[in-house]
Amino acid sequence: MRQVRIAMAQINTTVGDLEGNTAKILHAIQRAKQEDVDIVTFPELAITGYPPQDLLLKPQFLHDNRLALERIIAQTDGITAIVGFVDQEDDIYNAAAIIHHQTLLGVHHKNYLPNYGVFDENRYFQAGVTKHIYQIGDITFGVNICEDIWYPEGPTVIQTLSGADLILNLSASPYYVGKPEFRRRMISVRAADSVVVVAYNNLVGGQDRLIFDGGGVIVNQAGQTLAQGKLFEEDFVTADIDLDDVSIAKLNDPRHRKAVLQMKLDDASMCQRICAEPLPARRNRPVLTPTCSSQDRKAHEPALSPNMLRAKEIYAALTLGLRDYVRKNGFQKVVLGLSGGIDSAMVATIAADALGADNVVGVLMPGPYSSQGSLDDAHALVENLKIHHHVIPISPIYDAFVAQLSGAFEGRQPDVAEENIQARCRGTILMALSNKFGYLTLTTGNKSEVSVGYATLYGDMAGGLGVISDVPKTTVYALAEYRNLIAGFDLIPRNTIEKAPSAELRANQKDSDSLPEYSVLDEILRAYIEHDKSIDDMIALGYEPAMVKDVVRKVDKSEYKRQQAAPGLKVTCKAFGPDRRLPITNKYKG
């Protein structure tokens, strides 16, 4: 029986933290040795964190990353480790080190470099061309990196046809809603197509706008899950694999045998076989029972509807993204304005879950048009969450602004200028608390508002992180329902959820004065922003032409605001920011 024990160290790395990441890697190697593991893998670019962006253009950074790799190599006595790093040869490569028993056996250079969406890998890396395989004793495996495995014709195929029974993929695949399931399905099909075991290790953790969801998976040659890493948490996933089963499956698969022949006729020179002696000590160990962490945990929870399952996934993503942004940037506490509305209530709740209630400071800032109901709702939330709070009325400040501007504004009626002054009084108060006490300010705008510019730059947009700025308003409601459901009571006050949304910046203002109902608005926004539909396309879908044109115009003319927004956590397939790069100066009316 050709048996191999694999471990996937699903670790939460931090960009630039070469010391800290190396310490995590060494710790996992130590654990793998204790658990009699043959091969331990790490996420993509584990040494540098992902994505290192323009740090890659600093020679010293590349050098330091290489020194870290050398430190790791020295600690691999008696084990094989596959570690992501940046390889500098004729150019720089997104690379995986194949380390065996204190020797660097080989290096895989990522063949497929993503350069779309949030990715800019062509900016940095040269694409690799080789797809070697490694034979350690009777274990033959191939290594590839993230994007490599998304291409049906990619390295996995060539490595398998050249003799690999096992593919070890190192990934840093960012989250958006539904992505974990989509990714698992792809890995399963890829394994079954190639008749090979795939161990797919995915990064976990928040990095600026991106949330890496982990959820690594080991699937067998039939595409069945052998082991699965937790979602949104670090994990250490192990599995024992019988490679003879892979051989049997290959011999019985006519597609596979035909493809081997075809590759021999084509150029197979990109794949060499690199061999090393096995380590003798590993063979007398009891076989592990397969575990699937995520599935186990589901058993303890109430049954959720598909909509609530989706909300659960997004909620977990936002919690991780918020926690890591705050902690990795060295902050302890956060501050945010509480209006009594759903958005700030949602953000406060996520923050309390992510950081602990004691690390959340809510500020109630009633102004000239604030209602008592809103204040009551905000107070109720503070009670429910048990967070700190201040009440700081803005009217005296607002009045001072209006008085000082009275000369310049002479003869003009109040309009959006006065509304924005109120929002900016609030932004300045939150930033003053941030400056005085070292809190990170959270912004609370949702994607629907941010899309149409229904937000005040330097006002409610002031802050270090946009927690729900990629969450459409209708999804914010779903998140609130989800959170109340698992709380077992209205943690987020029912009135906050049920009242008509209002910015309360003038008398009797309602969001619906200037915007379509959110259920309709969110559909139009999804079509326009996420799916690049034209005005004509959307009218053809049945939306009212004037409404479509008005929404598109509002989205387009708010681009300048979004380019000055705090980074926002990405949870949809297209978030604002690096994911959607539009000019501000833009006369296209599309």
Q: Please state the residue numbers annotated as binding site.
A: 116, 173, 179, 337-344, 420, 444, 449, 561
Choosing from 110, 328, 447, 533, the catalytic residue is: 110
Query: Which residue, 18 or 571, is less far from a second copy as judged by CB?
Result: 18
Spatial separation of the C-alpha atoms in residues 360 and 164, rounded to whole Å: 51
Residue 295 found at the interface with a second copy (CB under 8 A): no
Of 480, 481, 433, 471, whose CA–CA distance to 569 is shortest?
Answer: 471
Spatial separation of the C-alpha atoms in residues 227 and 244, rounded to whole Å: 19
**Sign of the alpha-carbon torsion through 274, 99, 28, 157:** negative
- Closest approach of Cβ 116 to a second copy, in Å? 6
Given 84, 214, 453, 464, the residue binding a second copy (CB under 8 A)? 464
DSSP-assigned states of every residue in 15-61: TT-HHHHHHHHHHHHHHHHHTT-SEEE--TTTTT-S--GGGGG-HHH
Site for a second copy in 512-551 (CB under 8 A): 532, 534-537
Given 27, 123, 297, 494, the residue binding a second copy (CB under 8 A)? 123
Which residue ranges make up the annotated binding site for ATP? 337-344, 444
Query: Which residue, 4 or 565, is less far from a second copy as judged by CB?
Result: 565
In terms of Cβ atoms closer than 10 Å to its own Cβ (0-12, 13-18, 19+), residue 423 is: buried
Residue 34 found at the interface with a second copy (CB under 8 A): no
Of 47, 49, 61, 66, whose CA–CA distance to 15 is shortest?
Answer: 49
Q: Are 270 and 130 contacting, i.e. CB atoms less than 8 angstroms apart?
A: yes
Kindly indicate which of the ranges 166-174, 242-250, 260-268, 415-423 contains the residues binding a second copy, using the contact rule CB under 8 A.
Answer: 415-423
The reply to whether 298 belongs to the active site is no
The reply to whether 436 belongs to the active site is no
Kindly indicate which of the ranges 150-158, 238-246, 350-358, 422-430 contains the residues binding a second copy, using the contact rule CB under 8 A.
Answer: 422-430
Query: Which residue, 247 or 563, is less far from a second copy as judged by CB?
Result: 563
Quick one: tokens of 196? 């090979």
Given 270, 431, 485, 520, the residue binding a second copy (CB under 8 A)? 431
Strands 235-242 vs 360-364: parallel, antiparallel or unpaired: unpaired
Residue 91 found at the interface with a second copy (CB under 8 A): no
Residue 460 found at the interface with a second copy (CB under 8 A): no
Spatial separation of the C-alpha atoms in residues 250 and 272, rounded to whole Å: 20
- Closest approach of Cβ 221 to a second copy, in Å? 35
Q: What does the per-residue mask of binding to a second copy show for 306-325, with x meaning CB under 8 A?
A: ------------------xx
Q: Are 194 and 555 contacting, i.e. CB atoms less than 8 angstroms apart?
A: no
- Closest approach of Cβ 508 to a second copy, in Å? 21
In terms of Cβ atoms closer than 10 Å to its own Cβ (0-12, 13-18, 19+), residue 338 is: buried
Residue 122 found at the interface with a second copy (CB under 8 A): yes
Residue 453 found at the interface with a second copy (CB under 8 A): no
Given 248, 274, 417, 541, the residue binding a second copy (CB under 8 A)? 417
Site for a second copy in 360-379 (CB under 8 A): none
CA distances from 417 to 118, 322, 406, 427, 462 (A): 35, 32, 12, 15, 17
Spatial separation of the C-alpha atoms in residues 34 and 31, rounded to whole Å: 5
Residue 428 found at the interface with a second copy (CB under 8 A): yes
Query: Which residue, 275 or 417, is less far from a second copy as judged by CB?
Result: 417
Question: Which residues are CB-neighbours of 90 under 8 A, at least 6 positions away?
Answer: 126
Of 146, 236, 150, whose CA–CA distance to 200 is shortest?
Answer: 146
Residue 510 found at the interface with a second copy (CB under 8 A): no
Site for a second copy in 97-116 (CB under 8 A): 115-116
Question: Which residues are CB-neighbours of 531 under 8 A, at least 6 positions away?
Answer: none
Quick one: tokens of 244? 């003879």
Residue 405 found at the interface with a second copy (CB under 8 A): yes
Residue 90 found at the interface with a second copy (CB under 8 A): no
The reply to whether 146 belongs to the active site is yes
Query: Which residue, 36 or 121, is less far from a second copy as judged by CB?
Result: 121
Given 91, 244, 415, 513, the residue binding a second copy (CB under 8 A)? 415
Kindly indicate which of the ranges 47-55, 231-239, 272-280, 514-522 contains the residues binding a second copy, using the contact rule CB under 8 A.
Answer: 47-55
Given 61, 150, 151, 369, the residue binding a second copy (CB under 8 A)? 61
Spatial separation of the C-alpha atoms in residues 253 and 248, rounded to whole Å: 9
Spatial separation of the C-alpha atoms in residues 474 and 518, rounded to whole Å: 7
Residue 586 found at the interface with a second copy (CB under 8 A): yes
Of 174, 132, 147, whose CA–CA distance to 276 is shortest?
Answer: 132
- Closest approach of Cβ 577 to a second copy, in Å? 9
Query: Which residue, 89 or 415, is less far from a second copy as judged by CB?
Result: 415
Query: Which residue, 270 or 401, is less far from a second copy as judged by CB?
Result: 401
- Give the total of residues touching a second copy (CB under 8 A): 86
One-letter amino acid of 151: Y
Choosing from 24, 131, 146, 333, the catalytic residue is: 146
Query: Which residue, 199 or 429, is less far from a second copy as judged by CB?
Result: 429
Among all chains, which residue has been given the structure tokens 């800019």?
A: 120
Site for a second copy in 329-348 (CB under 8 A): 329
Q: Are 361 and 441 contacting, i.e. CB atoms less than 8 angstroms apart?
A: no
Given 1, 281, 303, 403, the residue binding a second copy (CB under 8 A)? 403
Spatial separation of the C-alpha atoms in residues 156 and 128, rounded to whole Å: 14
Site for a second copy in 12-31 (CB under 8 A): 14-18, 20
Query: Which residue, 120 or 490, is less far from a second copy as judged by CB?
Result: 120
Where in the sequence numbering do the catalytic residues fall?
44, 110, 146
